Chain A
């Protein structure tokens, strides 16, 4: 079970992996954040932001190609030496854990708000984390297999939008570009938490079988995410109108509440159930990357008993840490900051990329002399 084959994935699964990292929590409130900034032109800003993300993905893959077959953990060791490298790796793992923790908390909060108000959070979180831990224990291949479900569910969500198509007012989306081109572009440069997830490629690169197609799959995944975001944001804007959209915390869930279904009347719980597995897989990929990087850092990838201790303690840590944010406001602030942290991390990868040239030149010089 702990053999490396369990982690091996195909390039098609890279697509699923990147989509899993991206779609999940950010999109739930993305539309209202954008409505505050650029009114009804949010979808244009997303298209731009998607292009920027695509560029970043290209650069990340280029970096990874230079260091064939290793993750960022080993890259740190190579570039910064054993000790500094390890400290940096710990910081990076802390970032992953932090993201996983915040997502877990958000997951818990969403479930609490929408269905189980009185259930103690600690109990709920411990139950929500079960499938996450279970899949992480077995490996990347199974995570990607599970996450295939996510693609199907996202398509189902789009179908759900279709139910409400006749209530859509296209005038709410017009005039296009009313917020002003500069403003839209400026907003599209702001780091969205909704887009993070692509940077996880740096943690799974060695497990990909067909490395030639990585870039293509990752870009396709980004395109898929962007397409879904554009549809969602445009739809929400066209449905609610920008003024009302600004007032909503989770406009996607509010949309689910707006459809009066025949016989059952309310489909909001149905929608939560639909979104649940999507959220699971988002936490899952972050959780897995943090856990797996820890294993690589301590060099216990093939050591089953030690991995067991690690996963138990890591899980307990995530559950307990997820209780730390005080309230919803703090959580949302922290959550929005994730985009910035991810950007810093991507910047760090590029520094590694630049340093790798210096390192190589040094080596060449040494050889030459």
Chain B
């Protein structure tokens, strides 16, 4: 009896070893999609472009690109699997590129698959492309001097996130900001310009619909107001900054981490009056010879920088209000502090009327090693 049991156990474990591995997906037999592009197709469906690197092909450093019309995002993978020599999987997707024309109609449900399917990464970048993602990807695979397109995009996005030129928006951030009342997502914006991929700033969303865009300098300031700012290169231009000799028409600085303070008040009619106070620390990078160590000159510069940044920030706020997009989360702050008031209004309407002002002060900390 005992021997029989032992034999049975041996038999079962052997069968397991031989027939097991149900979930096995051997790595080299997989084609991993690294970038996905989604745009509307001619027939009002989705045109989905997926890029995956070719492994073991004749030529080194190539990628495959498959475009297919589908009614749903998963449709692209299902279709690709019928065409590609490898098992197409999406677990390593780095960027989800969405065309701006599609984003205008709302993209929230497009991204749902990244949250529902655990094999897909919820930490992929969401990127809005001005124009067609398919075109961008197709152009990008022809770049001979650059790494494979997904790596190229990955590095481009990472570096610009560090420089606060674009928001650090992953699928997760998008969803959280979309769901939260009184908060709206913003998404990096890129485009194809002169045959190169260029970061152009950020796309503003109202709920899940794209309603406006900002340039990358404006994004710097917006991120400052959102308190998600570390540092950025910034160039002031205009006659204010022409200096003594007038050789240059601007000043190049590095903005460092800002301090933010938001105060909320209400006027008699119940409209919110919001003041965002910001404090930047500035590192002077390029200006002109002489005098930058003079206290008076510095004070003067600080004032100029401050008023310039205040104006620009107010312009950004105006754009936000026009787009009815609230990435700063002023609505969220009002909800947290004035809950009864929040319940009595429709924030989306009130936001556009609200009186929101930025007030920026700067402090020059460092001027480099010349006076």
- Say whether A178 faces chain B, with CB atoms less than 8 Å apart: yes
Q: Does the CB pair B329–A240 fall under 8 Å?
A: no
Q: Number of contacting residues on B, CB 8 A? A: 25
Q: How far is the CB of A288 from chain B (nearest CB, A)?
A: 23
B23: chain A residues within 8 A (beta carbon): 115-119
> How does the 8 Å CB contact mask read for A95-124 relative to B, with 1 for contact and 0 for none?
000000000000000000111111110010
Given contacts A254-B115, A265-B123, contact A120 B336 (CB under 8 A): no
Given contacts A171-B332, A244-B176, contact A120 B22 (CB under 8 A): yes
B335: chain A residues within 8 A (beta carbon): 171, 174-175
Interface size class of chain A, counting residues whose CB lies under 8 Å from the partner chain: 20 to 34
Q: Does the CB pair B175–A244 fall under 8 Å?
A: yes
| Residue of B with least CB distance to A166 | B228
Q: How far is the CB of A359 from chain B (nearest CB, A)?
A: 47
> How does the 8 Å CB contact mask read for A254-288 relative to B, with 1 for contact and 0 for none?
10011110000110100000000000000000000
- Say whether B191 faces chain A, with CB atoms less than 8 Å apart: no
| Residue of B with least CB distance to A240 | B176
Given contacts A171-B332, A241-B176, A244-B180, contact A259 B123 (CB under 8 A): yes
The residue among A116, A117, A172, A259 with the most chain B CB atoms within 10 A of its own CB is A172
Q: Does the CB pair B180–A172 fall under 8 Å?
A: yes
The residue among A116, A120, A240 with the most chain B CB atoms within 10 A of its own CB is A240
Give B174-196 interface residues, CB cut-off 8 Å to A.
Answer: 175-176, 179-181, 183
B180 touches which of A241, A254, A268 (Cβ 8 Å): A241
Q: Does the CB pair A178–B22 fall under 8 Å?
A: no
A120: chain B residues within 8 A (beta carbon): 22
Q: How far is the CB of A262 from chain B (nearest CB, A)?
A: 11
A114: chain B residues within 8 A (beta carbon): 118
Q: How far is the CB of B253 from chain A (nearest CB, A)?
A: 26
Q: Does the CB pair B180–A243 fall under 8 Å?
A: yes
- Say whether A145 faces chain B, with CB atoms less than 8 Å apart: no
Q: Does the CB pair B22–A268 fall under 8 Å?
A: no
Q: How far is the CB of B341 from chain A (nearest CB, A)?
A: 11
Could you tell me the distance between the alpha carbons of A170 and B23 in the complex, rounded to whole angstroms? Answer: 41
| Residue of B with least CB distance to A245 | B179
- Say whether B73 faces chain A, with CB atoms less than 8 Å apart: no
> How does the 8 Å CB contact mask read for B8-37 relative to A, with 1 for contact and 0 for none?
000000001000101100000000000000
A257: chain B residues within 8 A (beta carbon): 118, 121-123, 172
B339 touches which of A119, A123, A169, A178 (Cβ 8 Å): A178
Q: Does the CB pair B180–A119 fall under 8 Å?
A: no
Q: How far is the CB of B188 from chain A (nearest CB, A)?
A: 15
Q: Please name 5 further chain A to chain B contacts, defined as beta carbons within 8 Å, in addition to the given A119-B23, A174-B335, sorted by A numbering.
A: A118-B23, A169-B332, A175-B336, A240-B176, A241-B179
